[in-house]
Amino acid sequence: MASSKQPIRIELDSDHPEKSIGTLTVNGTINRFEVGYGKYGIACEGTRFQEGWTPLGRFRVNAVLTADRFEMDPALVRLSGKNEEMLREELFSNMNSIDFDGDGERGEYGGGYISLAPIPETDQPFEFNDYAGTFRWYSFAIHGTNNEERIGRKVTGGCINVNNMSLSMILSTVKIGDEVVISSDGPCTP
């Protein structure tokens, strides 16, 4: 079920990543927040997600995962092959325990993970799988960080990262079905 509220908007600055911003309108107030994006750059709308590239376009929130919040599109729960209770209790903590950088630090997603599906639906490599022996959901997302110096930089695996204060603001209003629009002032890679 789609939401009638204004979409979260994210504008990526291809020349100056530190100027990339998101906006969330709550009760008529526009809230701005800094974002980081893919280490390889910006991919064009409608492309297949690839590691390190942040895609442009319209997206729908299909899961919201935190330590104490679990909301997931029922189709994803079925796709996982797990029961909802297991996912609710373990999925986010499993995902946030993975050390993607190999730097010994965990908590790469900070306080939460907001999974995004492209509108219109296009074939994507998103799936439930095991990474380093840990069950997780692999998708394109907006998420927090365990290192706020990464915000405003091209350093992610393709996701949009935000500082934890901004993530809390987004999490206070975001729901399944909400729309996210990601655009850029510069060129994208097909």
**Mean of the pLDDT values across residues 13-25?**
97
110 contact partners, CB below 8 Å, separation of at least 6: 96, 143, 144, 145, 146, 161, 164, 167
- Residue 32's pLDDT band, with cuts at 50, 70 and 90, is very high
Give the distance, in angstroms, between the CA of residue 27 and the centroid of all CA atoms in the same chain.
23
φ/ψ of 24, rounded to 5, equals -135, 120
∠ CA 166-168-174, rounded to 5°: 100
14 vs 40: CA distance, rounded Å: 11
Please state the pTM of the whole predicted model. 0.94
Give the whole-angstrom CA distance, residue 101 versus residue 63. 24
DSSP alpha helices (H): ranges in 62-172? 74-80, 84-86, 92-96, 164-171
The tokens describing 6, both together, are 């204004």
Q: What is the mean pLDDT of the chain?
A: 93
Provide the 8-state DSSP code for 72: E
Share of the chain above pLDDT 90, in %: 86
Among the CATH numbers 3.30.230.10, 2.40.440.10, 2.60.40.10, 3.10.450.100, which is that of 8-184? 2.40.440.10
- Is 3 a residue whose pLDDT tops 60? no
Q: What six digits make up the tokens of 40?
A: 């390889």
Kindly indicate the confidence band of residue 63, based on its pLDDT and cuts at 50, 70 and 90.
very high
Report pLDDT for 104: 72
CA distances from 124 to 46, 74, 94, 157, 182 (A): 10, 18, 22, 15, 17
pLDDT in tens, 67-126: 999 999 999 999 999 999 999 999 999 999 987 766 777 888 999 999 999 999 999 999
What does the alpha-carbon distance between residue 29 and residue 31 come to, in Å, rounded to a whole number?
A: 6
> How do residues 146-171 score in pLDDT, each as one tens digit?
999 999 999 999 999 999 999 999 99
Cα 105–chain centre separation: 20
> What are the residue ranges spanned by the domains of the chain?
8-184
